[in-house]
Structures are given as C-alpha cells and as structure tokens.
C-alpha cells in the first residue's frame, strides 16, 4: 500500500487537504472518495476527511477503482489539428479551451472535441492514473487560458511511451510570453508545491515539493515596463512558468489574474494570461524518430506585442 509521511514543518490541516497536496496529480475529490471508501488510514487507523493531521503523520492509501468517463463527443469544439496519425494527435489549443472534463467543465473540452473525430476512441484506462478515465489519451496539459501545442495519445502504447518521456524530462517545450517588468535571463530551479493557503495556486516558496526548472530568455525589453520572453522547460509542473516569473523574477505574466498584479497603462488589452506553448518536440512512440512542432503567436498576443513595439520603438531586442 502506498504511503505518505508528512514532513517536519507541515502545518496541521485536514486529512483530505494534506493527502491531495502530497499527490498533486490526484484531485481532492478523488482523495475524498478514497477516504469515504475506507481506503485511507492515518497511523494505522481509518480516518475521516475532516480529521486533522500534522507533521510526522503516516498516511497509507489504496487508490480506488477508476470512474467511468462520461465525456461525450462534441463536434462543435474548435481547435486546430497540427498533426495526426493512428498513434497520436498534436493540436494547437486556443486560449479559453479546457483540456479535459472536470469540476465546473464537464462539457465543451478538448477531449470532448477529440472524441468526435474519426479514429479517436477511448484508450484503455491507466490504472496508475486515478483521473485517467476523465482524460483519455491526455499525457500533459496546459492551462485553460494558455494557448498552444499539446500532444494526445490515441493508443495505450503511445500513451505509455509519451508518459515515460515526460517523466524523464525528454520533451522539448518552449513558451512565448509577455511579462510585466523585465526578468533576468537565466536558469531558475526551485521546489514546487501547492500553495499552503490559496487552493488554486502553486508556489516555489516551499521547503517541500518537486524540483521545477525553467530557462528564461528575454527576447525584447520595453524599457523596464514589459518584456517579450521565451521560457524553456526542463520540468513541467502545474503553473510552473507563471509561478517562477511571478515569485522568482517579480515579473508576472501580463493579464495573469491569479499570479499577477495590476499593470500600469501599457496600452495593451488582454483577456487572459500572455502565455503561449510555441514549441513541442518528442520521440514518436511508434517510428522512434524525433519530431518537432512550432506554433506562431495567436492574434491576441501578437496584437499586444505589436502595441508594445509601437509604444517603445527603441526596445532592446536581444
């Protein structure tokens, strides 16, 4: 039975909160279901979701059976297919589109749209992924309001091969972004975990968690007010770029409602964070050849960049 031991310095909190924080790929709702099914013990005894746990607590858990996906095909979900074969599909996701069904977004997701495509069925569920039935074939995600490239497996072998590459950090991923202020170019390495008080956020200001590494390159600096940057990932933690730019560089993404701050008047109007997944490269799970895909800035980010260039014609291009 898998085990989690809460490290020294852990705050006293609810069991379901502590366990879901220790298992970032498992939702709190799933953890609560395990607890209700008496699959979780604390220090050898059954416990309730609301029971308090603290540093040193030993939590044993047994993942429950996978739920059946209720995702239905929806032909009206809009996205661009960049590449497709019998093994996988690479899409260019528009901002505003959720990747897979979940709380608050049970319909209208990328998965719903993919299920409506000929040849895209439901790959067998992954017993190692408690949420897998809700996201068939999805091996990585980008935020709802981030645009750009995403690969989705169409078969179980392709899914496993791609997951191994992501776990080994053998995926090429580069993002283009606009920041409030100008970050310093360089390598950022931190620990990464859920924020202790803000449920929707993650943080690098932690003494526990997983390693997160981002390479930041300033492409253009608009005085000290904004910048056009490229962020290359070694790891792919949730909100990693957003957290590193905001917490480690003090230069959050433009229009990032979660990690940002009120921007001065830059003449730029954006309705989502200025982040775009521009490059995706990996070894094809069937041909074993390395493939690479690129996506241009979408219209809203290109317009924002053009406004900044016009407002600051003396911008330093690196």
Catalytic (active-site) positions: 143
Tokens of 263: 């921007």
Pairing, β 40-42 against β 210-222: unpaired
Residue with tokens 């909190």: 13
Strand partners, 292: 281
For residue 235, the tally of other CB atoms under 10 A from its CB is: 16
For residue 43, the tally of other CB atoms under 10 A from its CB is: 11
Please tell me whether residue 123 adopts helix, strand or coil conformation.
coil
Distance (Å, whole) CA 106 – CA 100? 8
Distance (Å, whole) CA 26 – CA 194? 12
What is 144-165 written as a DSSP string? TT-EEEEEEESSHHHHHHHHHH
Distance (Å, whole) CA 194 – CA 214? 18
- Residue 218 makes CB contacts below 8 A (sequence gap 6+) with 182, 183, 184, 185, 227, 228, 229, 318
Please tell me whether residue 251 adopts helix, strand or coil conformation.
coil
Distance (Å, whole) CA 237 – CA 251? 19
What are residue 219's phi and psi, to 5 degrees? -90, -40
What are residue 122's phi and psi, to 5 degrees? -105, 105
């Amino acid at each position: 039975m898998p085990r989690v031991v809460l490290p020294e310095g852990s705050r006293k909190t609810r069991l379901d909160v502590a366990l879901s924080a220790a298992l970032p790929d498992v939702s709190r709702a799933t953890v609560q279901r395990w607890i209700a099914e008496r699959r979780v013990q604390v220090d050898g005894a059954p416990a309730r979701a609301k029971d308090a746990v603290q540093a040193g607590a030993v939590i044993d858990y047994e993942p429950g059976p996978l739920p059946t996906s209720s995702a239905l095909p929806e032909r009206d979900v809009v996205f661009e297919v960049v590449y497709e074969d019998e093994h996988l599909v690479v899409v260019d996701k528009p901002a505003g589109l959720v990747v897979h069904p979940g709380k608050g977004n049970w319909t209208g997701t990328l998965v719903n749209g993919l299920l409506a495509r000929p040849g895209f069925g439901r790959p067998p569920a992954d017993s190692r992924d408690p949420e897998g039935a809700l996201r068939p074939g999805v091996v990585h995600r980008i935020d709802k309001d981030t645009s750009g490239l995403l690969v989705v497996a169409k078969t179980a072998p392709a899914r496993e091969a791609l997951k191994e590459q992501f776990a080994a950090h053998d995926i090429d991923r580069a993002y283009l972004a606009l920041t409030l202020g100008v970050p310093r170019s360089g390598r950022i390495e931190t620990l990464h975990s859920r924020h202790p008080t803000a449920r929707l956020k993650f943080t690098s200001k932690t003494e526990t968690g997983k390693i997160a590494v981002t390479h930041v390159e300033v492409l253009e600096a608009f005085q000290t007010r904004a910048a056009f940057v490229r962020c290359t990932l070694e790891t792919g933690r949730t909100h990693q770029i957003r957290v590193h730019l905001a917490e480690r560089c003090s230069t959050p993404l433009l229009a990032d409602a979660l990690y940002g701050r009120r921007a001065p008047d830059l003449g730029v109007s954006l309705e989502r964070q200025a982040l775009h997944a521009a490059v995706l490269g990996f070894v094809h799970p069937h041909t074993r050849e390395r493939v690479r895909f690129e996506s241009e800035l979408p219209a809203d980010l290109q317009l924002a960049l053009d406004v900044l260039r016009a407002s600051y014609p003396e911008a330093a291009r690196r």
